[in-house]
Amino acid sequence: MTTATVTPRGTPGKQAEKKPETKAGKKPGNQADKQAGKQAEKNAEPQFIPNIVVFACNWCSYAGADTAGVNRVQHSPNFRIIRTMCSGRVTPGFVLKALQLGADGVLVSGCHFGDCHYQFGNYRAVELFEKTKGLVRTLGLEEGRVRLEWVSAAEGSRWGEVINEFEGQIKALGPSPLNLHPKRSGQTA
């Protein structure tokens, strides 16, 4: 047996015996179980992870996302948020560009009617979103890849629900035909 100097807190210079490692202390079959688990992971088909872009109004929805974070509301991390001053500012071009650049789904989120910082921005968002849905249909994509939601600054839990629902919706649709490199579980960025 060998001895080593161990200095745990409060007892400097104390001698302790270091025991050599033996195979007897290991559980039988442990190594085989690990190898079987690794093989099963290799054989399992990687799961599709949606790439979601969220355009969020600065005054309500972005603050709602912040509230969700502060309150530790559990929701999917598979989205990128882009803060806009108003949901009425999100044109069809922004949504189509996000889809062109590989987004599997795009969520536009703004203030509830009557709460808009700019008074009529969310009404404008509805008009623009209807045009966007028409263009998405024209391109041959599913309408379910785009969504418009209202989330206030105090609705952190609603933010989490909307994100989780939309992620499930996009997973059901599968990767966008415009996304040439869909992300799969087990892949690094």
pLDDT at residue 31, as a whole number: 64
Tell me how far apart the alpha carbons of residues 106 and 84 are, in angstroms, rounded to a whole number.
14
Residue 65 lies inside a defined structural domain of this protein: yes
Sequential DSSP letters for 35-100: HHHHHHHHHSPPPEE--EEEEEETTTHHHHHHHHHHTT------EEEEEES-GGG--HHHHHHHHH
Task: Categorize the per-residue pLDDT at 185 as very low, low, confident or very high, splitting at 50, 70 and 90.
Answer: confident
Q: What is the domain-level CATH number for residue 56?
A: 3.40.50
125 or 37: whose pLDDT is higher? 125
Task: Categorize the per-residue pLDDT at 180 as very low, low, confident or very high, splitting at 50, 70 and 90.
Answer: confident
Residue 184 lies inside a defined structural domain of this protein: no
Residue 5 lies inside a defined structural domain of this protein: no
> Checking phi first, is residue 65 left (phi over 0); if not, alpha (psi -120 to 50) or beta?
alpha
Tell me how far apart the alpha carbons of residues 145 and 137 are, in angstroms, rounded to a whole number.
10
Q: Which domain covers residue 98, as residue numbers?
A: 48-177
Instruction: Kindly report the pTM of this predicted structure.
Output: 0.75
Residue 21 lies inside a defined structural domain of this protein: no
Average pLDDT over residues 170-175: 96
- Residue pair 72/111 in contact by the 8 Å Cβ criterion: no
Tell me how far apart the alpha carbons of residues 69 and 56 are, in angstroms, rounded to a whole number.
15
H or E segment at 3?
Answer: strand 2-5
Average pLDDT over residues 6-25: 50
pLDDT at residue 80, as a whole number: 97
Q: How many domains does the chain have?
A: 1
* pLDDT for residue 61 is more than 70: yes
Average pLDDT over residues 32-49: 67
Residue 189 lies inside a defined structural domain of this protein: no
pLDDT tens digits for range 91-127: 999 999 999 999 999 999 999 999 999 999 999 999 9
Residue 102 lies inside a defined structural domain of this protein: yes
